[in-house]
Structure 1
Amino acid sequence: MKELSGRTIGIDDGDDVMFSDFEDDGEMWTGSGPRERRRAVQFSRPFQAPPTVFVSLSMWDVDSAANMRADVSTDNVTPEGFELVFRTWGDTRVARARMRWMAIGALRSEDDWDLY
Structure 2
Amino acid sequence: MLPLDVAERLEREPNATEYIVGIVRARMRAEDLDAELAKRGLTVSDHGRARARAQRAQVEQEWPPGRRKAVRERSRRAAQDAWRVFGDALDRPARDVPGLREPLSTPPVLEPQTDVLHE
What is the TM-score when the length of structure 1 is the normalising length? 0.18
The structure in which a higher percent of residues are helix is: 2
The structure in which a higher percent of residues are strand is: 1
Which one has a bigger Cα radius of gyration?
2
